[in-house]
């Protein structure tokens, strides 16, 4: 039987995710799998901030091209790396159950939490979203730019004499490094990135048989939450140059709660909001919350940020 070719980045985390998907896809399709390992522009350029080189889409462009030109049958992405828009000839076949969406504090001292960090502590992060929320909560902190894969960032904790770094809980858990986490930061204190903790399985739109087989891996509540978050992102035209965050949850009755924010990079102003809706209205809810935040000051922040980026 023809192997299922899975396109993935080559980092330890991406490979762990792709191998997990590969095993699950073998059960769903009956086909053996093989990995097509690619280096993306985001992986190659490590000395500049993402916002300065084109945004988070740099982590998926080459992988999507491998699908489009037939070198791969399935792509595995971290949903938080996806730009708001995807190519018309591609579709998302499944979103497996979401892992822990929270951000993680990894510190040099045991028992540390964000609230307990010493005044002026040096914190490493490559995320404008995380930095803006940290500055809003703790303006005394010194934020140090940090790029690279998980291993690189963990190593820089010591190399740069940082007090702590902030990463995603899901990635650390998937690498078996959950014991390195000192604080799983509550979403009320740091709202996650759109799609954080979620894997996105992408295929060609005309590969109906594969899409149908992979539907067995889809977790409907996760999909509905991601629809709401991505609608919020799209309505704000969000990218790495704009500190936005969104997190949706479904209760047992099928009601969706979406929280979102738009912030100034220095954390001096954070516009927050939330909305509740039926799961079936997830996309509308995301767009509506974005509109409400624009009207309450978010538009002013967005205009200023995009003007300064030109």
Alpha-carbon dihedral 285, 289, 292, 298, rounded to 10 degrees: -150
Identify whether the C-beta of residue 101 lies closer than 8 Å to the C-beta of residue 258.
no
Give every strand in the sheet of 164-168, ordered side by side: 142-145, 122-125, 164-168, 103-107, 183-185
Maximum distance among all Cα pairs of the chain, rounded to whole angstroms? 60
Task: Give the CA count within 13 Å in the CB-facing half-sphere of 264.
Answer: 12
> Is 207 in the active site?
no
Q: Which residues is 107 bridged to in the sheet?
A: 164
Q: Among the options 73, 81, 100, 213, which is catalytic?
A: 81
Give every strand in the sheet of 270-278, ordered side by side: 244-250, 255-263, 270-278
∠52-55-56 over CA atoms, to 5°? 145
Measure the CA–CA gap between 107 and 119, rounded to whole angstroms. 14
Dump the DSSP string for 107-151: ESSTT--GGGSPTT-EEEE--HHHHHHHHHH-TTPEEEE--S-HH
Per the structure block, which two tokens stand in for 223? 């999909």
How much is the CA Rg of the chain, to the nearest whole Å? 19
| Residues annotated as catalytic (active site), given as ranges | 81
């Amino acid at each position: 039987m023809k192997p299922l070719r899975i396109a993935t980045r080559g980092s330890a985390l991406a490979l762990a995710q792709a191998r997990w998907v590969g095993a699950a896809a073998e059960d769903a399709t009956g086909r053996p799998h093989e990995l097509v390992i690619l280096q993306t522009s985001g992986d190659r350029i490590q000395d500049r901030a993402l916002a300065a080189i084109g945004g988070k889409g740099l982590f998926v462009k080459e992988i999507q091209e491998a699908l489009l030109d037939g070198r791969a049958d399935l792509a595995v992405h971290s949903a938080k790396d996806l730009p708001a828009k995807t190519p018309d000839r591609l579709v998302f076949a499944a979103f497996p159950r979401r892992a822990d969406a929270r951000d993680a504090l990894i510190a040099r001292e045991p028992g540390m939490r964000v609230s307990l960090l010493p005044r002026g502590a040096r914190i490493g992060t490559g995320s404008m979203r995380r930095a803006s929320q940290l500055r809003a909560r703790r303006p005394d902190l010194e934020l140090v730019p940090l790029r690279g894969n998980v291993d690189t960032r963990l190593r820089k904790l010591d190399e740069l004499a940082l007090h702590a770094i902030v990463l995603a809980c899901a990635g650390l858990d998937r690498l078996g490094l959950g014991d390195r986490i000192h604080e799983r930061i509550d979403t009320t204190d740091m709202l996650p990135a759109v799609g954080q903790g979620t894997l996105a399985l992408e295929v060609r739109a005309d590969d109906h048989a594969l899409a149908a087989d992979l539907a067995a891996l889809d977790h409907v509540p996760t999909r509905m939450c991601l629809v709401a978050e991505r609608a919020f992102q799209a309505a704000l035209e969000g990218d790495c140059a704009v500190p936005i965050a969104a997190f949706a949850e479904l209760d047992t009755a099928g009601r969706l709660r979406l929280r979102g924010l738009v912030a100034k990079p220095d954390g001096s102003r954070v516009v927050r909001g939330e909305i509740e809706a039926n799961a079936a209205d997830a996309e509308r809810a995301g767009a509506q919350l974005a509109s409400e935040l624009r009207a309450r000051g978010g538009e002013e922040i967005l205009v200023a940020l995009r003007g300064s980026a030109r």
